[in-house]
Amino acid sequence: MQEHEVQMQVNGKVVSGKVESRTHLGDFLRQSAGLTGTHLGCEHGVCGACTVIVDGDAVRSCLMLAVQADNCEVTTIEGIAEADGTLHPLQEAFRNNHALQCGFCTAGMITSLHAFLSENPNRSETEIREAISGNICRCTGYQGIVSAAMEAAEKLAKR
């Protein structure tokens, strides 16, 4: 069994560990870094629950090997709020708009929208719907999520 030493910045902190070649980033974050906010749903890139931000890009953490994230900067749902616990506008908006029920998809929704709105917060509803078309939610019917994303986008645009 081949193992690799990896080191990455996760939510601003250095995380290192030994991983097998086959371990994907999602499992590394959950099992080695103890960051269980990243949820693994389908593990073949369809559901979007495991989305994290790697070097500024939203990616499926189940479709990237942990060893490939060596020396990368990773942001997970745990790194979205400020250090003092102040919620990010997206998190606030999710709360205001009842944009989650069971919460399984929420981490992926927020990391996806975070990357999407960081690039440009001036987005139409259609663009937002397309952006989260790769994130499956089984509870909400998406209306609350879209409303939350619109509300957060407006706030972020004013920043």
Partner 1 sequence: MKASAFTYHKPNSLEDALGLLQNEEDAKVLAGGQSLMPMLNMRFVQPETVIDVNGLDELARISVTDKLEIGALTRQKTLAKDPTIKQHLPIMQEALTWVGHFQTQSRGTIGGSLCHLDPAAELPMVALLYDAELQVASASGIRSIPMQEWALAYMMPSIGPDELLTKIMIKPWQGSHGYGFQEFARRHGDFAIAAAGCLIKIDNNIIEDIAISIGGVEDVPRRFTECEDVLRGMRYDIDDIKTHVREPLSQINYLDDSLVTGAYRRRLLKGLLIRAIEQAASRS
* Residues contributing to the site for partner 1 (CB under 8 A): 1-2, 4, 20-22, 24, 27, 42-45, 48, 51, 57-60, 62-65, 67-68, 112, 115-116, 129-131, 133-134
Which amino acid belongs to residue 105?
C
Cβ proximity to partner 1: between 22 and 138 the closer is 22
Minimum distance from residue 156 beta carbon to partner 1 (Å): 17
Cβ proximity to partner 1: between 33 and 59 the closer is 59
Minimum distance from residue 20 beta carbon to partner 1 (Å): 7
Minimum distance from residue 83 beta carbon to partner 1 (Å): 26
Give the DSSP letter string of 80-118. Answer: TS-TTSPPPHHHHHHHHTT--SS-TTHHHHHHHHHHHHH
Angle, helices 106-119 vs 89-96, to 10°: value is 130
Cβ proximity to partner 1: between 69 and 156 the closer is 69
Minimum distance from residue 72 beta carbon to partner 1 (Å): 11
Residue 77: closest CA among 10, 13, 148, 22:
10
Q: Work out the number of other CB atoms within 10 angstroms of the CB of residue 83.
A: 8
